[in-house]
Structure 1
């Protein structure tokens, strides 16, 4: 599988990326890959350590003559986001990612590619396997569950890392170096609803919003992309205002950290109002298409007949739709200090309303991010309030700190010098509106200097994810040059 990747250069990094594509590794299912890497590293004579959380640490001794250099930590995460198009048949726990090369980019076929963070892990593995790169002591740290809860980093065992320099290989723009990131927290909500004693009509339909780009809920939140959950709530509210529809289900989004690409809802309506409802929906669809004609050219809104089933009672339905409608989504505040940088945002990631036995079960999740930890807490409370007002159970959990930028750090200065020498132009120093593991690791290892960089990845967390081949070669050259030039210990 994916043999065409072996023809790409640098061959060693693509060899390992092929392994990652061939080995299923969605979040919570990293164990098979991790076991393989332990066996592989030990066969090459390297030391391995598995911490209680399930993070893997591989140590490689310094090259001859480089023993006095500072220890460098190469860090990435083993898991990948599992997203696919509705029509794609793929089991992320069993099936390899099927890649293809199109116009200089590596794509997957109807699924996420896993370049986030597969290419960073592949680079670290290539360094570990290489025999011709002069380097000091290396510690390769591979964390788990980064894409779902950052549990690996949150529960990383303290005291196992010796290095004071960490190169995080989990960024997505060639020519950029990241020195800070947002913190964040999940807001999970759930509630049970009773079934209405009577249906309001005899016609039932399934309303679907699809064809959206989706994307990373941090990196892409400022781009004006549509969220399928938000659009579907808007449509249901407007239809309910005029026709008093009765919800039977709502299913939208699959991940808290991915902007929802698709959402569907089924509802009952009086059969005498069907023609008028279709006409109204046509007008609403035209308005939304015009609203998103630049950012969402493939937006599709469809209405298809379905079977009549149990419906939500009107009061509960009104409360639920109102809570969803007023729950924050999108950019909340731009940074006052960093031009063009999102400070605080919220993604309404997952909504599920399903009938089970004799009642409805509603659940969902939003993800708040901010460069300022207190702002994360404040916006999370706003989300909580929206659902607490309807009596839902709400939990603010899995919070993680941001990574405070230090523009005067010695590692950053060294990185910029090496980047200019290797690439021929100056790197852009940036802060990312996403949850890199650096902030969490830094809170456990005070004084550790860190930078994050990587090749060009586009469409992360969505089936449009792609990896630019030429940028991988530049990424590799930069990484090698950094390792060759690591300062002497205590210099």
Structure 2
């Protein structure tokens, strides 16, 4: 049964709810790709697919608009898959369950996928229409944006013909984006030795939960708590004061999300059982006081558990906890050119333990290419000092703003005319695929727009209903005002 059929514009919400039924984790987009191909065939539209999986669907101009420049509309088809730890949801097989809450659409205890499902829905609504006037349009649907921009990296040359690109992956109504940060991942891998756990130890599990998490670009300057840093802070202190020995540690999930939850299993000598409980309660109060204004639902728990069979060697634990403590997280510098814009940041994203290895994933962003590599090298140096094997991803370039852009002027004038207010023109600290498109298509004139989305990359993700209507009206008006060739 449709939940969103009462919302306007009906055609956009129809397609959004339809794709909510289609599982589409990053790197596993086969089902949504099949859906797009079937859609193109049913609409009798030309389509093609490149080797990596990107789909391009083309639609000719409506009568009287044939001489307009061709426009490429672009969205990514994958979504971030995050859920509350207590929820049983299989992102590879289960549908997203949208609900309407106080003027917003959100999912039930999972990410919603409005990033970038709402862009995909708008493209489908436009392609399916028979009463919207526009020039020639191409709709590009890219794969695996969230975990590596794989689709944009591997986009074939001459895959599309348009000279104007409308990226539909922004998250703020009233803001027009003409630039974005570049990024790179830094991964540290520790080889660890495990020793048998002594019998005369008190075992316990520590949980950090209830944090907001969020987008490691858009939200990095909000002072949000990082579960990995909070957990490690206590483990480090307790190892010094109570002889804590670590058995298991896991926290965070995706490189582009701020860690919401983290967990550890550890032991202390039996005579430290009560002292460590007292110390943890004091620590919990300290964290809640520090984060009260921004993270009111943070929850820290220490509970007894079964004695683990093994603990990490004292030497390896020392190196691990010290390096996590020393690893920077958050804003490194602000832009000198654009007021309020984060220039450089880093995110301590995930800690994953498997057998004899612990892998720590971090991501760095900057609108200055040299600064991006500088902060990545800083993170590398911290973990190399601790003896980890450190590697970097390929990274992706930023998108340098062009304030003389023709499509910027069209988009800005359209917004002012429609809504009687001036939009904000800015760059974004998050990564967009535009920088990669510009490498292969250096003459592209680009802009990024979208409705208001909050809590992206977390189960709190939600999209503001009224702004979707504005986004749709704005998009259609832009297309009406594209210049002739």
TM-score between the two structures when normalised by the length of structure 1: 0.97
CA shift for structure 1 position 382: 0.9
CA shift for structure 1 position 60: 0.6
1:199–1:311 contact (8 Å) kept in structure 2: no
1:424 to 389, 404, 420: 420
Query: In structure 2, what is the Cα distance between the partners aligned to 1:198 and 1:73?
Result: 60
2:382 to 375, 381, 386: 386
Query: In structure 2, what is the Cα distance between the partners aligned to 1:199 and 1:219?
Result: 46
Name structure 2 gaps, 5 residues minimum: none
Q: 1:96 is matched with which residue?
A: 95
1:199–1:268 contact (8 Å) kept in structure 2: no
2:17–2:98 contact (8 Å) kept in structure 1: no
Deviation digits for residues 218-241 of structure 1 (CA, Å, limit 9, x no counterpart): 000000000000101111111111
1:12 equivalenced with 2:11 (yes/no): yes
CA shift for structure 1 position 197: 5.5
1:120–1:170 contact (8 Å) kept in structure 2: yes
| Cα root mean square deviation, aligned | 1.0
Q: 2:344 is matched with which residue?
A: 344
CA shift for structure 1 position 7: 2.1
Q: 2:411 is matched with which residue?
A: 415
1:317 equivalenced with 2:317 (yes/no): yes
Deviation digits for residues 437-488 of structure 1 (CA, Å, limit 9, x no counterpart): 1111111100101010111111000001111111100000000001111100
Q: 1:30 is matched with which residue?
A: 29
Q: 1:191 is matched with which residue?
A: 190
Secondary structure of 1:441's aligned partner: helix
CA shift for structure 1 position 23: 0.7
Query: In structure 2, what is the Cα distance between the partners aligned to 1:417 and 1:33?
Result: 35
Secondary structure of 1:277's aligned partner: helix
Moved more, 387-396 or 105-114: 387-396
Q: 1:477 is matched with which residue?
A: 473
Secondary structure of 1:400's aligned partner: coil
2:46–2:57 contact (8 Å) kept in structure 1: yes
Q: 1:87 is matched with which residue?
A: 86
CA shift for structure 1 position 201: 4.1
Deviation digits for residues 11-41 of structure 1 (CA, Å, limit 9, x no counterpart): 1111110111111111112111111111111
1:197–1:313 contact (8 Å) kept in structure 2: no
CA shift for structure 1 position 430: 1.1
Name structure 1 gaps, 5 residues minimum: none
Query: In structure 1, what is the Cα distance between the partners aligned to 2:83 and 2:429?
Result: 24
1:168 equivalenced with 2:164 (yes/no): no
Q: 2:440 is matched with which residue?
A: 444
2:171–2:454 contact (8 Å) kept in structure 1: yes
Secondary structure of 2:194's aligned partner: coil
Q: 1:405 is matched with which residue?
A: 401
Query: In structure 1, what is the Cα distance between the partners aligned to 2:197 and 2:343?
Result: 47
Secondary structure of 1:367's aligned partner: strand
Query: In structure 2, what is the Cα distance between the partners aligned to 1:197 and 1:78?
Result: 47
Secondary structure of 1:24's aligned partner: coil
1:376 to 368, 372, 376: 372
CA shift for structure 1 position 374: 0.9
Deviation digits for residues 297-325 of structure 1 (CA, Å, limit 9, x no counterpart): 01111001112220011111011111111
CA shift for structure 1 position 196: 2.7
CA shift for structure 1 position 395: 0.9
1:293 equivalenced with 2:292 (yes/no): yes
2:407–2:447 contact (8 Å) kept in structure 1: yes
Q: 2:116 is matched with which residue?
A: 117
Q: 1:68 is matched with which residue?
A: 67
CA shift for structure 1 position 398: 3.1
Query: In structure 1, what is the Cα distance between the partners aligned to 2:7 and 2:352?
Result: 42
Secondary structure of 1:204's aligned partner: strand
Query: In structure 2, what is the Cα distance between the partners aligned to 1:460 and 1:197?
Result: 42
Q: 1:306 is matched with which residue?
A: 305
Query: In structure 2, what is the Cα distance between the partners aligned to 1:132 and 1:420?
Result: 24
Residues matched between the structures, number: 484
Q: 1:434 is matched with which residue?
A: 430
Query: In structure 2, what is the Cα distance between the partners aligned to 1:32 and 1:87?
Result: 26
Secondary structure of 1:189's aligned partner: strand
Moved more, 278-287 or 249-258: 278-287
1:364 equivalenced with 2:360 (yes/no): yes
1:200–1:269 contact (8 Å) kept in structure 2: no
1:201–1:268 contact (8 Å) kept in structure 2: no
Q: 1:453 is matched with which residue?
A: 449
Secondary structure of 1:216's aligned partner: coil
CA shift for structure 1 position 390: 2.1
Runs of 4 or more off by more than 2 Å in structure 1? 196-201
Query: In structure 2, what is the Cα distance between the partners aligned to 1:404 and 1:253?
Result: 31
Query: In structure 1, what is the Cα distance between the partners aligned to 2:204 and 2:43?
Result: 60
Q: 1:252 is matched with which residue?
A: 251
Query: In structure 2, what is the Cα distance between the partners aligned to 1:33 and 1:270?
Result: 53
TM-score between the two structures when normalised by the length of structure 2: 0.98
Deviation digits for residues 412-453 of structure 1 (CA, Å, limit 9, x no counterpart): 111111111112111100110011111111111001010101
CA shift for structure 1 position 284: 1.2
Query: In structure 2, what is the Cα distance between the partners aligned to 1:196 and 1:390?
Result: 20
